[in-house]
Amino acid sequence: MSILDAIKKSVLEGFSAEISVSDILFSLGIAFLAGLFILLIYRITFKGISFNRSFEGTLLMISTISALIVLTISSNLALSLGMVGALSIVRFRTAIKEASDTAFMFWAVAAGITAGAGYFILTILGTLVIGFLTFVSLKLISHTASSYLLIVRTNTDAALGIVAKMFVENGIRNRVSSITENERHFEAIYEIRIGLSHHKLVSALKKIPDVTDVTLVDCRNTPI
């Protein structure tokens, strides 16, 4: 046997001519369950501003579709070459609003690929470990500080200066979003990051002279 024949034989042995129905259903089932787990972690840990319901279904579809593609590729050499060529010209132009959404998409793709390749233990353990680490890390970050919109209405400009001074004294990260001035009052909107003591901040701001209204709005818009 020549070297060329040996290479051809080794390559062809990596492809199975037929895939049983039970193998297909089991692979797709594992990929679907992994996608459900990823979707659950996404809902629990989401801390973005705008929650996109359609992205949940997308995660579930990505894991299952990835498994189907890998099953097709592993069954036939000609199909694998043709599918790789077809997928290489696909361009996705949908904007990803949250940076963490990209990681969840890659996670769903990885779960689908490993399930389609038949590495079910790797799919299950990998999904569980990544899910646990993601949950712990994002929960720790969310408990340290959260994003809020703070709307302060005062009768004088000097009161806004006292508000800014209070931010500095308490180490509250903030950014002025807008300031409105008319004949009746001054209104300032701040973007702030604060931990669990947000109720204390509202009470402290209300005690400032000439402050008439204080409104704190949660910017995370997480699903309930």
**pLDDT of 129 over the 90 cut:** yes
How many structural domains does the chain have? 2
Query: What's the whole-number average pLDDT of the chain?
Result: 77
The pLDDT of residue 78 is 52
- pLDDT, tens only, 32-83: 999 999 999 888 877 655 566 777 788 888 899 888 888 877 766 555 555 5
Do 68 and 21 share a structural domain? Answer: yes
The pLDDT of residue 103 is 86
What pTM did the predictor assign?
0.58
Do 94 and 154 share a structural domain? Answer: no
Residue 4, SS3 per DSSP:
helix
The pLDDT of residue 224 is 45
**Per mean pLDDT, which range of 85-99, 130-144, 179-193 is the poorest?**
85-99
Residue position matching structure tokens 């809020």? 148
- pLDDT, tens only, 136-187: 887 676 555 567 888 899 988 888 888 888 888 878 888 888 888 887 888 9
* Among 114, 143, 172, residue at a domain's last position: 143
- The first and second tokens of residue 121, run together, are 């233990």
- Residue 188 belongs to domain with CATH number: 3.30.70.260
For residues 214 and 202, is the Cβ–Cβ distance under 8 A? yes
Do 203 and 162 share a structural domain? Answer: yes
The boundaries of the domain holding residue 139 are 17-143
**pLDDT of 128 over the 90 cut:** yes
The interaxial angle of helices 157-170 and 198-206, nearest 10 deg, is 150
**pLDDT of 91 over the 70 cut:** no
Do 151 and 115 share a structural domain? Answer: no
The pLDDT of residue 70 is 83
Do 105 and 27 share a structural domain? Answer: yes
What are phi and psi for residue 152, nearest 5 degrees? -120, 125
* Among 115, 143, 171, residue at a domain's last position: 143
Question: CB within 8 A of 56, min separation 6: which ones?
Answer: 39, 42, 43
The pLDDT of residue 98 is 67
Do 70 and 94 share a structural domain? Answer: yes
* Among 83, 117, 143, residue at a domain's last position: 143
